A and B are shown apart, each in its own frame.
Chain A
């Protein structure tokens, strides 16, 4: 027998140790990137909170005479939309039950409500040339809403096509008193998804692009970003 038939157990163990270290490094790096994402969302929400407070204060200071100044800065729609995408990504990759994700989601929901109330006040007092259209969208990702993914995609497309369409999304299952108050005030049932367009009666069940444009023709009159290609 050749002496090389022997095998070196130390080499097997060393290879195992190096491989485990490589895997551990990959998991660690992934965790650090996820931490950075959470920090990014938290910072964006803090900044949004300051901006909202600034807008509210500006509105109080200027009153009706300041409509031109206020409507030059038509709200924080882009920031809200960007935050929504980031939160959705975090939910998908870090888990909907992750405690930090839930905290950020609650904070975001409160900021949405504040923005919604402020924009409603500005729109009714100032009456801009093109009034935005407001959509409150209630969904659930607890596995009890099979149409919520489609509805979310539909509203995302409409929001990207019509910048003046303001969509505020709320997780029906979120344990937050402000959201629960909104649900009870608008008498929203548990049959998700639910849409409330421009303060009209809640509409439950999945609605595609054409259904929504029929329910709210004023959306079709808003200015668009790009022409969409045909189906």
Chain B
């Protein structure tokens, strides 16, 4: 008995994608067992550097107050922490909301012409003399100990030039938000493992912190296809400036609550990945850039293309089967009915193909990664969220990936958000 009958050509592509996906996850699991993240301690930093948190705002009247209050609640010496609110040409009541805090000595509020988030960040960098410069999106909230936990991470290794926190979704309500809550939890695992590999690929807007020297060495933020946070991380990797993850520093962020806003956001991120890949193509498969060049970038791009292939292949096969079945029934004059095999279960017809088994292994490893991520950051979600993730994500992700590919091929500028979601 042969191990398997002749594998159709299309299936080979699926096998390859699953093999690479599984290889990547196995690699990350090995990294996890080599260096498991430790729990939070009550230790304080030995030294409190001066910190400026830049809050770029564009039409953030609904959420800005909450963000500022969470920054003011940070457990950090008041004389060492300053908050710089940069109003980037808002035309709602953002400035009025910010001005409610102007009497606070820690807060400075400035307004400028609209130029995009990266210009607001750069304005803050130019106007701060602090040792550590951070950014916080105006729709995000920080845990009171987030800054201390991040500073401790800088202290563990003095070569660390930037620290990224853990991001959780703030109060997810609908199915889409629950799906993203699980996705972000998955991201917690990935970020920690990328930290183990010195290969962090994004410095997200919510509460990434930088030593001032970073900007002195490699320059300020760039437009970077509306993904300045990703480009900054890649530029730091290209210049061998280490980035670390403080898994005990928690930030809560708002996520898109409609399919339209989600697609817009993710298309921008995905297209940013492709466009930045063109700019940094020299890093791909380049051992000079360690695991970032050898593993993270190539696998990121491979999974991008592979996901589209698997999705397209599945859709094609499903449609082909459905249309064929419909044609057979219509031309044979067979009325709609419940097939006999549906009524009487028989183990004989269970799908036990190798493809199904491998897909099941991939599913289990993804689930394991999510559960580890949940444990690392104390995230909390139920079975409903997991179901939302595993059903919705596979349906939605190919849409934004396809849009991103199309946009990148046409060198089309991605659309920035219209509301407070970044």
Contact = CB atoms under 8 A, between A and B. Distances in A.
Interface string B279-314: 000000001111100110000000000000000000
Contacts of B361: 22, 26
B22 interface: yes
A201 interface: no
B4 interface: yes
A231 B333 contact: yes
Contact of A26 (B2, B290, B330, B357): B357
Interface in A154-196: 154, 157, 160
Contacts of A1: 240
B353 A93 contact: yes
A28 to B, nearest CB: 7
A209 B340 contact: no
B331 A31 contact: no
Q: Is the interface of B mostly helix, strand, loop or mixed?
A: helix
Interface residues on chain B, size class: 35 or more
B373 to A, nearest CB: 20
A4 B289 CA distance: 10
Interface in A189-231: 208-210, 226, 228-231
A37 B346 CA distance: 12
Given A15-B27, A27-B354, A230 B335 contact: yes
Contact of A19 (B3, B26, B329, B349): B26
A33 B352 contact: yes
Contact of B328 (A12, A28, A29, A150): A150
A72 interface: no
A80 B291 CA distance: 60
Q: Is the interface of A mostly helix, strand, loop or mixed?
A: helix
A19 B337 CA distance: 43
Interface string A96-138: 0010100000000000000000000000000000000000000
Given A2-B198, A27-B3, A93-B353, A209 B23 contact: no
Nearest to B5: A95
A89 B332 contact: no
A231 B4 CA distance: 39
A151 B19 CA distance: 39
A26 B354 contact: yes
A61 B348 CA distance: 37
A153 B287 contact: no
A210 B353 contact: no
Contacts of B328: 149-150, 153
Contact of B1 (A26, A29, A31, A228): A31
A18 to B, nearest CB: 5
A25 B335 CA distance: 42
B30 A2 contact: no
B336 interface: yes
A38 interface: yes
Interface string B223-243: 000000000000000001010
B291 A2 contact: no
Nearest to B329: A153
A11 B27 contact: yes
B6 interface: yes
Contacts of B352: 29-30, 33-34
Interface in A24-73: 25-31, 33-35, 37-38, 40
Contact of A229 (B19, B294, B335): B335
B334 interface: yes
Interface of B: 1-6, 19, 22-23, 26-27, 30-31, 34, 159, 197-198, 240, 242, 287-291, 294-295, 328-337, 340-341, 348-349, 352-354, 357-358, 361
23 contacts: A4-B197, A5-B290, A6-B290, A7-B291, A11-B27, A14-B30, A16-B23, A18-B30, A22-B358, A25-B357, A27-B4, A27-B354, A29-B354, A31-B4, A37-B348, A38-B1, A95-B6, A98-B1, A150-B332, A151-B332, A208-B334, A209-B333, A231-B333
Given A5-B240, A30-B357, A31-B1, 18 more contacts: A4-B197, A5-B289, A7-B291, A12-B294, A15-B26, A22-B26, A26-B361, A30-B4, A30-B352, A34-B352, A35-B1, A93-B5, A98-B1, A154-B334, A157-B332, A209-B334, A228-B335, A228-B337
